[in-house]
Amino acid sequence: MAMDKKIFTTPIIKSNPITVLVLGICSALAVTVKLEPAIVMGISVTLVTGLSSFLISLIRKTIPNRIRIIVQLVVVAMFVILISEFLKAYVYDVSKQLSVYVGLIITNCIIMGRIEAFGLTEKPLPSLVDGLANGLGYGLILVIVAFFRELIGSGTIFGLQVIPQSFYDAGYMNNGLFIMPPMALILIGCLIWIQRSFQKEEKK
Amino acid sequence: MEALNIFVKSIFVDNMIFAYFLGMCSFLAVSKNVKTAIGLGVAVIFVLGVTLPINYLLNKYLLSPGSLTWISPSLAEVDLSFLSFIIFIAVIASFVQLVEMVVEKYSPTLYSSLGIFLPLIAVNCAILGASLFMQQRAFPSLGIATCYGLGSGVGWFLAIVSIAAIREKITYSNVPKPLQGLGITFIIAGLMAIAFMGFMGINI
């Protein structure tokens, strides 16, 4: 069990898929303007990563090596379709905000990366845990970035006003740049900066 | 004229990387020097230019609601659009695999310069993203869809080549240690995205 715990905890911070391994940034940044879609996206990716890694690991001995990428993509696409239909049925607003980025979970490098690196060689259960943990690590970064972008960009959290009106009266303005795409990149750059400077201290 | 407009717009305004963050993973991983960046960029233009028309036709005659009427009028009610993720990704992955095999067989020189990037492209979100945007925006004709594909490819090429050039130069400057490598690359990309925002509103 101790082994399993390690599989679960390292991807969340120590080898976080976004800040350390640089995977899955593609669809990540666009959904972080507000907290709500970021959380939905985090949960969806966690589920897809875990389940598809599990399934691939189950059938890993029967997949011919030459066409394995297509097989993997089809398995992932199947789960993404399930998630996308589910979102459309239960949280229509969010699924509209996420637009094409739900479909783009298919090409999220975290999923392919975990399947290639872990699912193809390990047993089903550890693969499931590994996939879920990587998804959570990804979700964590999304939530952090979305928190700052929503707070500074529109002065709200989960759509609720948190910066009091008196601030605005005193001349405070929302920083519109945080809603634009470039700030997401710069914020992630800063997150990486912070994380790396802490990790270096640990090593000493 | 409209086709030209879409072409220019997809290069500068709707730039795949700076406006939608698509294809970020390979953008960051393969931009260490200009030469490989050019190789990958060309491969992306090529794959986008071919897969987008194919997916456009599939979408028009197979997937969108009521598109099966060309087989028989009784199929007008059928809506297969939930299958689009799986069909698009299957087209892209199999096309990429096919090109890789053909190039490997007939032109070893081209294979050694382009071939290594091809598997990377199957999971490049820019390719699938372009197909999904094409479906969402409902382009009126095949020609315009092709222009959109080529334009997006050129935009991506431009972005990766310019960031590779900047990264080559930045190795000579004095960047704080924890920020080196990944962190600074994100921040550069953010600054470039701000620069690209200046193109907003171009119309021909």
pLDDT digits (tens, 9 = 90+) for B10-22: 888 888 888 887 8
| Closest CA–CA distance from residue A89 to any residue of chain B (Å) | 13
What is the rounded distance in angstroms from the CA atom of residue A61 to the CA atom of residue B186?
39
Three-state DSSP class for A156? Answer: strand
Interchain pair B21, A107: CB under 8 A: no
- Partners of A23 on chain B (C-beta within 8 Å) are 25
Specify whether the CB–CB gap between B52 and B148 falls below 8 A.
yes
Amino acid in position B163: I
ipTM associated with this complex: 0.74
Q: How confident is the model at residue A203 (pLDDT cuts 50, 70, 90)?
A: very low
State phi, psi for A113 to the nearest 5 degrees: -60, -45
Three-state DSSP class for A161? Answer: strand
Nearest CA in chain A to B17: A26
**pTM to 2 decimals?**
0.81
Q: What tokens does B140 get?
A: 């009126």
Q: What tokens does A10 get?
A: 């390292």
The residue count of chain A comes to 204
Q: How confident is the model at residue A1 (pLDDT cuts 50, 70, 90)?
A: very low
Specify whether the CB–CB gap between A76 and A52 falls below 8 A.
yes
Interchain pair B177, A200: CB under 8 A: yes
The 8-class DSSP code of residue A16 comes to -
A–B: how many Cβ contacts below 8 A? Answer: 141
What is the rounded distance in angstroms from the CA atom of residue A186 to the CA atom of residue B127?
24
Whole-angstrom CA distances from A137 to A23, A194, B26, B178 are: 11, 16, 20, 20
User: CB distance from B122 to chain A under 8 Å?
Assistant: yes
What is the rounded distance in angstroms from the CA atom of residue A123 to the CA atom of residue A60?
9
Q: What tokens does B155 get?
A: 């935009």
| pLDDT over threshold 60, residue A2 | no
What is the rounded distance in angstroms from the CA atom of residue A52 to the CA atom of residue A55?
5
Cα–Cα nearest to B31, from B99, B100, B120: B120
Interchain pair B186, A74: CB under 8 A: no
Q: What tokens does A100 get?
A: 């094409």
Place of tokens 């390979």: B26
Q: What single string gives the DSSP state of each residue in B57-109?
A: HHIIIIISTTGGGGT-GGGTT---GGGHHHHHHHHHHHHHHHHHHHHHHH-HH
Average pLDDT over residues A134-162: 82
Average pLDDT over residues B31-53: 85
Between B97, B136, B190, which is nearest A186 by CB?
B190
pLDDT digits (tens, 9 = 90+) for B87-107: 888 888 888 888 778 778 887
Q: Is the dihedral of CA A84, A89, A91, A92 positive or negative?
A: positive
Residue A200's pLDDT is 64
Q: What tokens does B156 get?
A: 């991506």
pLDDT digits (tens, 9 = 90+) for A66-99: 777 778 888 888 888 888 888 888 888 888 877 7
- Percentage of chain B exceeding pLDDT 90: 7
Interchain pair A25, B197: CB under 8 A: no
- Partners of A69 on chain B (C-beta within 8 Å) are 93, 97, 119, 122-123
What is the rounded distance in angstroms from the CA atom of residue B179 to the CA atom of residue B108?
39
What is the rounded distance in angstroms from the CA atom of residue B22 to the CA atom of residue A141?
18
